[in-house]
Amino acid sequence: MIWTAISCGALAVAAPAEAHLSINPGEVYTGALVDLVFSVPNVGDAIGIDHVTLGIPQDFELDDVEAKPGWTQSRTGQAVTWSGGRIPKGTFARFTIRGTAPSKAETVLFNVLVGDRTGKSITYRIGLDVSATGEEDAGARSLGKAALAVAILAALLALGALFVGLYVWLRPPPS
């Protein structure tokens, strides 16, 4: 029910996410456990925003949601609503969720509905880029291999010095 309302609201009053709302990080890797932080500003609502609903994409596995002091939360399927708090005009609040990123590279869209107690609301659509797991940093890997080689060489030199020292110490005195 709430998901339908969010979807319809998104079609009726969808606003570009770039206008005010942001998500951090903006890019994640496939299958990664991530904390996503949505920064929700109140740019012009004099009454103050008192509810925020996140519509979570179906292929994002939602695990936990942030408990915010002064706000109550409810969860219905892939939607989470925080209500009862207040974001005064000219300020912002952060809302955090934790979950697992989709298993394929894509851009997923979150619907974020913000509203005040008069019923005025707006829905933002904000994208999250999901990238395939990147290649390991070849530079770091090469540096690690070089460090290992230096450590092995140092160990061999130390072992050689130990054997020379033992030979000198244990050899019979000259006659």
Question: Left (φ > 0), alpha (ψ -120 to 50) or beta: where does 138 sit?
Answer: alpha
Q: How much is the average pLDDT of 41-50?
A: 92
User: What distance in Å separates the CA atoms of residue 157 and residue 144, rounded to the nearest whole number?
Assistant: 20
User: What distance in Å separates the CA atoms of residue 60 and residue 57, rounded to the nearest whole number?
Assistant: 5
Which tops the pLDDT comparison, 42 or 158?
42
CATH 2.60.40.2230 fits 2-131, yes or no: yes
Q: What is the pLDDT of residues 106-163, one digit of tens each?
A: 999 999 999 999 999 999 999 999 999 755 444 555 566 667 777 787 778 878 877 7
pLDDT(45) > 80: yes
pLDDT(4) > 60: no
